[in-house]
Amino acid sequence: MAEWTEVNFGPQHPSMHGVLRLRVKLDGEIVKEVEPIIGYLHRNAEKIGELQFYCDNMIYFDRMDYVAAMNMEVGYLEAAEKLLDIEVPERAQWIRVMMAELNRIASHLVWLGAFGLDLGMLTPFFYCFKEREKILKIFTEVSGSRQQLNYMSIGGVYQDVTDEALDHIRTFIKEFPKELNKIESLFVKNDVFISRTKGIGVLSKEMAIDYGVTGPMLRASGVEYDVRKAQPYLVYDKVNFDIPVSFKGDNLARFLVRVEEMRQSIKIIDQTVQKLPAGPYFNQKAKKPLMIRLRGQGEVYARTESPKGEFGVYLIGDGSLRPYRVRVRSPTFKNLSVLPALAKDQMIADLISIGGSIDLVFGEVDR
């Protein structure tokens, strides 16, 4: 239509997360068409994965969803260990669950702060990042890095958790729920926030399933589906937690589901700290020089629950030292595909609000 205004909500424009570019057609204040244009952060991670050893792929998976690197590592290792037929010691599995859940909280905190910024709330962002900083401190204590960790390795983890780190985690899980309640109350008690999120961007159950939406967005639309329960990996069948579900499907439901997920993660971390078994943290079969001499044959698909949704890794090994094919099913890419449908015939402000509620991290969409 000629009389529609075409506007970019582009990569340099401050409104969108990361490097998402939206080509939006506007009829005054009403959004008529949205076309997400992606690929500005494409780094060829899948192709690079075919060129190097199994253990080296870890750092590229760290950089996929860079705010939830541990979850990406867990996802890749689920596939790689299945392909290479390597067992993981019990202690390493518990450590992995602990770290993955800590990183889930960190990822949700980044989303929470950024969602506030999208809606114009400046302050909660800093409270969220203050809490996230504590998690990053734990990661530094354990792995030696803050974000791009390269902590887990094929057959376990590179370094054992220290007692100091466990102490940090214990104080964190003691203090965090209170802080989370405070941050949540800043949002949900605010009338303007409720008016910006309640009933906006309603994603129906059928539509969510049709588009392949996973993760908190799917659960906010009333589908009780979580890979951690549906197909437990690591030791998720030995810990006790609930799946938060909402039947509303709007922005507020997504917000509440994510906040409740953080509480459940705290519950999981609490159990892992208590039940952490003694023993080796590394499979000797994959240690030292052997870690680049691992050969895989066959093909394997493993799925895990990353903070954004179902993260699947598909690997083919042809018996050589390097994988023949690496393919990633990234949750945010699928979740983003519903944005044009949700934002159609809404206002500009709602487009921003819906875009914020999807939890976009562009390292993962573009790969």
Q: Which of positions 190-249 make contact with another protein (CB under 8 A)?
A: 190-196, 198, 224, 242-247
Total number of residues binding another protein (CB under 8 A)? 78
> Considering only residues 54-83, where is the footprint of another protein by CB under 8 A?
55-60
Residue 123 phi/psi, 5° resolution? -80, -45
Task: Pick from 37, 85, 87, 126 the residue near another protein by CB under 8 A.
Answer: 126
> Considering only residues 90-119, where is the footprint of another protein by CB under 8 A?
116-119
Query: Which of 271, 308, 307, 243 is CA-nearest to residue 173?
Result: 271
Is residue 37 helix, strand or coil? strand
Least Å distance, CB 305 to another protein, is: 15
- What is the chain's Cα-based Rg? 21
CA–CA–CA angle 284, 286, 290 (5° rounding): 115
Least Å distance, CB 238 to another protein, is: 19
Least Å distance, CB 28 to another protein, is: 8
Least Å distance, CB 51 to another protein, is: 10
**CB within 8 A of 98, min separation 6: which ones?**
161, 169, 269, 272, 273, 276
Q: Is 189 in the site for another protein (CB under 8 A)?
A: yes
28/298 with CB nearer another protein: 28
Task: Pick from 173, 352, 354, 361 the residue near another protein by CB under 8 A.
Answer: 352
> Residues for the chain: how many in total?
367
Q: How far apart are CA 308 and CA 359, in angstroms?
A: 7
Helix (H) or strand (E) holding 94: helix 90-119
Task: Pick from 123, 284, 297, 320 the residue near another protein by CB under 8 A.
Answer: 123
> Considering only residues 273-302, where is the footprint of another protein by CB under 8 A?
288-289, 291-292
26/301 with CB nearer another protein: 26
Binding mask 127-166 for another protein (x = CB under 8 A): x--x--x---x--xxxxxx--x-x--x----xx----x--
55/213 with CB nearer another protein: 55
For the chain, the first-to-last Cα distance in angstroms comes to 34
Least Å distance, CB 138 to another protein, is: 10
Task: Pick from 65, 270, 310, 350 the residue near another protein by CB under 8 A.
Answer: 350
Binding mask 11-50 for another protein (x = CB under 8 A): --xxx----------x-xx---------------------
What residue has token string 């075409």?
6
Task: Pick from 173, 256, 269, 360 the residue near another protein by CB under 8 A.
Answer: 256
User: What is the DSSP code (8-state) at residue 322?
Assistant: S
Residue 323 phi/psi, 5° resolution? -65, 145
Question: Tokens standing for 291?
Answer: 């870690």
**3-state secondary structure string across 187-219:** HHCCHHHHHHHCCCCCCCHHHHHHHCCCCHHHH
Least Å distance, CB 306 to another protein, is: 20
85/242 with CB nearer another protein: 242
29/298 with CB nearer another protein: 29
Least Å distance, CB 229 to another protein, is: 9
Q: How far apart are CA 198 and CA 208, in angstroms?
A: 18
Helix (H) or strand (E) holding 331: helix 331-336
Sheet hosting strand 21-27, strand order edge to edge: 5-9, 21-27, 30-37
53/324 with CB nearer another protein: 53
Q: Is 305 in the site for another protein (CB under 8 A)?
A: no
Number of neighbours of residue 74 by Cβ within 10 angstroms: 26
Q: Is 364 in the site for another protein (CB under 8 A)?
A: no
What residue has token string 């990353």?
306
